[in-house]
Amino acid sequence: MSAAPPRPEEPLIPKRRNTELLLSLFAVAVAMFAYANVGLADNGKLPAGMWGVGAGLAAVVLVANGLIRYAAPYADPLFLPLAIFLNGIGLVLIHRLDIYDSEHYQALHKANPVKFHIPPAGSTTNQLMYTALGIAAMAGFLLFVKDHKILQRYAYISMVSGLFLVAIPAVLPASISSANGAKSWIRFPGGVSVQPAEFGKLLLVSFFAAFLMAKRDALRVASRRVLGLNIPRGRDMGPIAVCWVLAMLILVFETDLGVSLMFFGAFVVLLYIATERTSWLVFGLTAFIGGAVFIATTVPHVKQRVDNWLHPFNGEICANSIPTPKNCPSDQISQSIYGFATGGIFGKGLDQGRPWLVGFAKNADFILVTVGEELGMVGLFALMMVYTLFVMRGFKTALLIRDNYGKLLAAGLAVTFALQVFITAGGVMRVIPLTGLPMPFLAAGGSALVANWVVVALLIRLSDSARRPLPPAIPLTDDELRAMRLAAAQRMPSNAVQGRHAQPAAPQGPDGPQSPHPLAQPGLGQSGLGQTGLGQTGLGKTGFGPGEPGGPTPPGAADPTQAMPVRPAGAAGSASAADVTQAVPSQPRGYGEQTMLRAAEATQAMQATSGPRPEPEPGQTESYIPAFEEDEDDDVRTRPTPPPGATPGDAAGRPGPPERRYGP
């Protein structure tokens, strides 16, 4: 028994972990440079906590890189550096706004120390803590979820959990779920609050990917084509109708336009990716715009946001025209427009603008105004470029991964991230009404930041599966190859067991049992010639039957691995009735030139033993003639057969189709 060959080495594919580490450290260096710039612009000194923040970010980078080296060595090398860069810039912007909060409190405390005696809590330290928590969530996901296809098994559990997390604030009292007019929070004792929709969207994207992978063939079916669009069937509109209803319910009961738009938009885009039907995009966009317009005219909070979007300066006019303004609309949009205009192309510089004039500047979406005012259009474009790179790498992962669920999941995560950036930036820039969604990785808050790091973990796991090489093929030993060849030879029709090609018993004649026809050999059409008995009285006594003394042994009967004989060239033309028993290579019926040669030899043998076939005489026959008439009383099997060359109308009885001719 031969020894097993050595196992082949794993293909040499670059893992890019060192590149990831260097890019991540470069992102930390850029963030720390901006952090130092804020302190120097404020008081000419480096910030007091600069080195602590830098050390914390560097530790996060080292831990995350080591974890990816262990759990996902083939992951895309850009996801972690891009996330670290965005998170670091967010820390810088939050620290810059914390400086104003501290200075503003000192001024108020100096004017009225009794009323203003509680200093504001800085958000930079909390944000760094949330960053560590997000890295811990990413680490737990990568360590415990070894294969992303595990998530596919829990598709409907993800659906129920995601809908529960999205809908739970709507049923809670407004005192613990409402903030700024939208019911999207859950407040716990101790000042801790959670936005469950940030985690619910990830579970729903996983469910959408599993559902559309299973149902995409049915959803691709179109009933008709109207104005260049493939209109889907009515029963296939169910999924999009259910998602539309849920999105409208979220908009009505939670008055949260951002979550509703992101939830429905992600499903519609995934539906388009899965089916490649533009009609789904048209129907989805039309349905959402129609529902949103109706709700905007009936729900007061949504209507107020739409009015502020259409008339952004009404709040400022109201505040300046009335001595004691009351119930004036918000001026956040007008202040954000002023901030972007003040920044210009290159911006006023960090800590040189006045972004605090916009209410809730470091929370949710308005932190983008700080970027536009102090870093200018150049800094804003650079930030959008980083977001674009993140989304592009997500789509590249969707293209490279091998399984359909992974493709849809990666595309869904990229679409959800892109939608959140567009909805947030579009609301601040007055492209769409304000939604209140947090800017990914930038805005202060723990729920959104931890959820974004889970998105990074999902994309890292998916990109590792996409870039990981297939396992190398292990060569077989000589004994394994010999066993495989023997099994393959035994499965061939000519080398099968005798029961498969057993011939019927020959009829008894006056001289004893007759021999089988010489053509009744394995692979030569036993079902035809072996059962007709043509010429068995003549050729059956020649001694050339298989198994008889002097007769040929069929190839493969003794040894299944025996090489088959090869017929010399030109044998087909010289074949005659005398050599029809010549052994030929046994191949499956219906394949190749050998089968045609056997068919020709069988025809020659039949003609040599039984003579030419006589022509049938006109008259009553039992031949089957296809029926083209619908009259069931007419039995076409006993219809008179016309003479050769005549049409069916020449025979007695009802005429048949004139274009058909019935041969003898």
Q: Which residues contact 34 (CB under 8 A, 6 or more apart)?
A: 88, 89, 92, 350
3-state helix, strand, coil in the chain (%, to 5): 60, 5, 40
- CB-neighbour burial class of residue 81 (10 A; exposed 0-12, middle 13-18, buried 19+): buried
SS3 sequence, 619-664? ECCCCCCCCCCCCCCCCHHHCCECCCCCCHHHCCCCCCCCCCCCCC
Phi/psi for 55 (5° steps) reads: -65, -40
Q: What is the pTM of this model?
A: 0.69
**Range scoring the smallest mean pLDDT among 165-179, 216-230, 586-600:** 586-600
430 conformational bin, left if phi > 0, alpha if psi -120 to 50, beta if neither: left
pLDDT at 136 over 80: yes
Please check whether residue 356 is in contact with residue 337, taking contact to mean a CB–CB distance below 8 angstroms. Answer: no
Q: Is the pLDDT of residue 563 over 60?
A: no
Q: Which residues contact 647 (CB under 8 A, 6 or more apart)?
A: 655, 658, 661
CA dihedral sign, ordered 536, 539, 541, 546: negative
> Most confidently modeled of 405-419, 437-451, 510-524, 529-543?
405-419
**Of 294 and 422, the one with more pLDDT:** 422
Nearest partner of 201 among 151, 166, 235, judged by Cα: 166
Distance of alpha carbon 425 from alpha carbon 103, whole angstroms: 28
pLDDT of residue 20: 94
- What is the per-residue pLDDT across 243-252, written as a single tens digit (0 to 9) for each? 888 888 877 7
167-173 contacts: CB < 8 A, separation 24 or more? 167/249, 167/250, 168/196, 169/196, 169/197, 169/254, 170/249, 170/250, 170/253, 170/254
**More confident position, 528 or 442:** 442
Model confidence at 518: pLDDT above 60: no
**Mean pLDDT (whole number) for 212-238:** 72
What is the rounded distance in angstroms from the CA atom of residue 660 to the CA atom of residue 638? Answer: 18
Tell me which residue of 231, 229, 253, 228 sits closest to 240, measured CA to CA.
231
Taking residues 602-612, what's their average pLDDT?
A: 60
Please, which pLDDT band fits residue 140 given cuts at 50, 70 and 90? very high
The band of 355, judged by pLDDT with boundaries at 50, 70 and 90, is: confident
pLDDT band of 415, cuts 50, 70, 90: very high
Buried b (16+ CB within 10 A) or exposed e, 136-162: ebbbebbeeeeebeebbeebeebbebb
How is residue 29 written in tokens?
A: 């260096």
User: Is a pLDDT exceeding 60 seen at residue 575?
Assistant: no
Mean of per-residue pLDDT scores for the chain: 75
At 424 the three-state DSSP class reads helix
Alpha carbon distance 356, 370 (integer Å): 8
Pick from 148, 138, 90: nearest CA to 444: 90
Q: Under DSSP, is residue 505 helix (H, G, I), strand (E, B) or coil?
A: coil
Query: 255 near 302, Cβ under 8 Å?
Result: yes
| Between 31 and 326, residue with greater pLDDT | 31
Domain ranges of the chain: 154-298
